[in-house]
Structure 1
């Protein structure tokens, strides 16, 4: 089935939108899992419940089985980083579902309806790079790659469609296009007055004034002079010049 151009653009943009929401939800879930694993690993490390030999032989820069660096304040910054990622994914998901758009338009206009999806793609790439910069498991690794790829796609869409991207993918835009093609109501219909009634009322009024207040002399003066010479003279006195059509002979008579 052949689809018009705006329908294909609408479907393509909403496919990217759906992939973006799925990627953000996956990163949101994996960030919570990694946060729980990091807290458990830090508690085990603090209580001494770990293999000291394996820790000494391995990489001692990170707490075992976690993404927390083994340095002063490492646990605090690692947990704070995960909380920031979770908060950012929530904000970006709300921006993708266009709710509450009034809040974004007023307090965070980069994610509002007057901007495209380029800034959204940049934020998604930053989140993906932040997750990929640490050693994580396979599931967080795949979701971070997925989010980074979707972010690159959103940047490309933002460069192509710019600020009109969100309007083209909006479901309400179909209703607006329907109004442009076939208006639902006609403007100014109530202002139209019936010409027949107005004309008949004027003729009746003139007839009444002519019959009631007119005298025989007025009636004779109001009568027409016809199309003869008397009519031409009366028209000439009033400044009108009547012309006769040029006489011509038919071609077959010539």
Structure 2
């Protein structure tokens, strides 16, 4: 069995928690939409029942029915409190929860990263999973604090559990949690383990061919190796190659840097002057060597 490095296990584990977190957020998003629809229907039914009671034949029986309806703390079959503007705040609360779940899903996906880095840094790449888990716990507690249906209850409890797990992972991995589970950072780490530069070009075969040609001096070795490249010919004969491909003989070819080269340079007007000997002012005068 091939053992993977510890970083691979951390990458797989964090991404499993990431997928489960996205699933829990999607479930909470769906369940809150369902609850919102049920609340609106329950509020409409409650208002219709109040209108029917107020338009009854007997005023006393109608007033009794309205008082009976007002005794309930919550509207029947909903999570809306039976108080002034209760329906408004209940609907607004559900819309806030739906909006927050959308933001958390996008932060888990990591898109758009620049938006979160600039406007919501705690959900960006520079922070860990602690803030994400805390928000999930707050949302789960807000949903579970009301009497809801089974689907919403299970979804909220599942998200609350994932929020606790994200807080724990945030304490363990701290700010490096999101970078450890990122697919792009994993690819960059894999590329860094491989060489990303090309080494120098091996020119030894060309140099060896030139040396063998020069040692052969146009004999059997030159015939065996064929015609040498132009720069080898220039090294051997002391000539230069012009831009049009013609080869010209250099005027100082074969003279080197010895006495012959100095004579050839002097005949062309190029003289080498020797520096004048000088002594520092504090040095004693040199004795006359002729005496």
Identify the TM-score tier after normalising by the shorter chain.
0.7 to 0.9
3-state DSSP of counterpart to 2:254: helix
Alpha-carbon separation, structure 2, partners of 1:34 and 1:213:
99
**Number of equivalences:** 214
Question: Of the candidates 163, 166, 175, which is equivalent to residue 154 of structure 1?
Answer: 166
Q: Determine the structure 2 residue equivalent to 1:105.
A: 117
Alpha-carbon separation, structure 1, partners of 2:129 and 2:27:
20
Matched, 1:65 2:77: yes
Question: Of the candidates 87, 97, 112, which is equivalent to residue 75 of structure 1?
Answer: 87
Task: Return the offset for 1:182.
Answer: 0.5
Q: Determine the structure 2 residue equivalent to 1:23.
A: 24
3-state DSSP of counterpart to 2:82: coil
Structure 2: any 5+ residue segments left out of the alignment?
54-63, 211-230, 239-249, 262-291
CA gap of 1:32–1:104, structure 2 versus 1, over 3 A, is same
Alpha-carbon separation, structure 2, partners of 1:213 and 1:147:
87
Task: Give the alignment's TM-score, normalised by structure 2.
Answer: 0.65
Task: Return the offset for 1:45.
Answer: 0.3
Larger Rg: 2
Q: CA RMSD in A?
A: 3.4
Alpha-carbon separation, structure 2, partners of 1:117 and 1:16:
11
Q: Determine the structure 2 residue equivalent to 1:93.
A: 105
Structure 1: any 5+ residue segments left out of the alignment?
220-254
Task: Return the offset for 1:149.
Answer: 0.4
3-state DSSP of counterpart to 1:211: coil
3-state DSSP of counterpart to 1:10: helix
CA gap of 1:184–1:136, structure 2 versus 1, over 3 A, is same
Matched, 1:117 2:129: yes
Matched, 1:211 2:254: yes
Alpha-carbon separation, structure 1, partners of 2:256 and 2:93:
99
Alpha-carbon separation, structure 1, partners of 2:113 and 2:155:
27
Task: Give the alignment's TM-score, normalised by structure 1.
Answer: 0.73
CA gap of 1:59–1:151, structure 2 versus 1, over 3 A, is farther
